[in-house]
Structure 1
Amino acid sequence: MTRRVVTNMSLSLDGCYARAENTIDMSWVMPYAVSDVARDHLTSLWEPATTALLGRTNAEGFMGFWPTVIGMEGADPRDEAFAKWLVTCEKTVLSSTLTEAPWDNTTVLSAPAADVADELKAAPGGDILVLSSASVIKSLLAADQVDRLALMIFPVTLGAGPRLFTDGLPAADWTLVSQESGVHGELALVYDRMRSHSPRSSVPPA
């Protein structure tokens, strides 16, 4: 069975994944990212995955924080389970500046994301999960390499900021796999890429 490339990103209602004035300030995400819907959403993505594909900036942020959750008093079991997965899973980090991996089970590559995804899909394993690395996800969308697109939509408008979906991406059809809403208005959406070129119709054959 061919491995899937699965991407996950948090977005505001107006389609931004970060503030324009401070792209590393994710305070707008935090009230919703710790909800049951958000935690269950992330769990459903990492459990079938065996590889994390990350950009350097996101890798540094993730590996600086998540290992500290393991054994943390009062930590949600879902958070701790994800932290353990992230530490132990195979990690591929895309970087033109890192010369060696500062984390266990990690390979650093300076190569186009689409080429790396092709190589990973040719190897055995489970899903290849791209976690919130916008530049990597954008490259994979541009190359039509995303098989499953997962989004957390938070009830916030940022007014301006970098956007995941920009002009020039190839047209694509997606089918909704799951949708969940939380008590705070957050939405967890999962779509699969439809790659059949046959026209869709709701009318059964005669």
Structure 2
Amino acid sequence: MTQRRVVAWTSVSLDGYTSGPNGPQHDSWLYEHAMKPQTLAYFESVWRGATTALLGRTNYVGFHSVWPGITADPQTDERTRAIGRWLNDVEKIAFSRTLEKAEWNNSRISDDLEGTVRELKAQDGGDIMIVNSVSIIQQLLAADLVDDLRFAIVPAMVGGGLRLFGEGLPESRWALAETTALEHGAVGLHYRSV
């Protein structure tokens, strides 16, 4: 049995933020990047190997509020709909102490991040992907449970907001596995833990 890998995935501004000072609902830089055809193709290459998605409460609730509608809309392009179908079908674990019900298909709630991830890594399956949830990425980095860092650096400065890599993370080493230049100036980076 091959041990499952924990893959952290997010997009980040040039100055290191995953969302700006006014919150993700005001991040036009991020939405413009996310909806580019080449970004969608790049993201597809990341999620295709994942059979479990880890989300924080905010992303779980936010994604559930928009993705089913996007996926069902016949005007949505096929690649975006494929991502929506994957999000709907994949095993999803929302980490929260306040969510009471997991309403999205094939999902459950946990309040034990490290314990749940250790159990998942011991099971058969594909990659375990942290989908854009910075708090989960940071906690699992601190616990030395992230195997791959995959993120897109978007050519925008946002001047504040939610940092991907905050202070207090332990020292670690990473090896560059792949770079991907995207047509609108973003760069996809894939690092593996050494």
TM-score bucket (shorter structure): over 0.9
SS of the residue corresponding to residue 29 of structure 1 reads helix
Specify the alignment match of 1:151 in structure 2: 151
CA distance in 2, matches of 1:186, 1:23: 18
Specify the alignment match of 1:75 in structure 2: 76
Gaps of 5+ in 2: none
Q: Is the 8 A contact 1:52 1:128 kept in 2?
A: yes
Deviation at 1:37, TM superposition (A): 2.9
What TM-score does the superposition give when structure 2 sets the normalisation length? 0.93
Gaps of 5+ in 1: 195-206
Deviation at 1:91, TM superposition (A): 0.9
Does residue 18 of structure 1 match 2:39? no
Choose 77-86 or 29-38, whichever is displaced more. 29-38
Letter in 2 for 1:60: V
Question: Which structure has the highest helix share of the two?
Answer: 2
Letter in 1 for 2:40: R
Once the two structures are superposed, residues 161-190 of structure 1 have per-residue CA deviations (whole angstroms, 9 ceiling, x without a partner) of 221112221111111122111222111111
Deviation at 1:47, TM superposition (A): 0.7
Q: How many residue pairs are counted as aligned between the two chains?
A: 193
Does residue 43 of structure 1 match 2:21? no
CA-based RMSD: 1.4
Does residue 178 of structure 1 match 2:175? no
CA distance in 1, matches of 2:25, 2:75: 26
Letter in 2 for 1:50: T
Choose 31-40 or 146-155, whichever is displaced more. 31-40
Specify the alignment match of 2:169 in structure 1: 169
CA distance in 2, matches of 1:136, 1:149: 13
Specify the alignment match of 1:86 in structure 2: 87
CA distance in 2, matches of 1:187, 1:164: 16
CA distance in 2, matches of 1:21, 1:150: 25
CA distance in 2, matches of 1:71, 1:16: 31
CA distance in 2, matches of 1:95, 1:24: 21
Specify the alignment match of 2:160 in structure 1: 160
Choose 68-77 or 124-133, whichever is displaced more. 68-77
CA distance in 2, matches of 1:104, 1:73: 20
SS of the residue corresponding to residue 149 of structure 1 reads strand
CA distance in 2, matches of 1:131, 1:162: 15
CA distance in 1, matches of 2:23, 2:48: 32
Does residue 131 of structure 1 match 2:101? no
CA distance in 2, matches of 1:77, 1:38: 14
Does residue 63 of structure 1 match 2:64? yes
Letter in 2 for 1:135: S
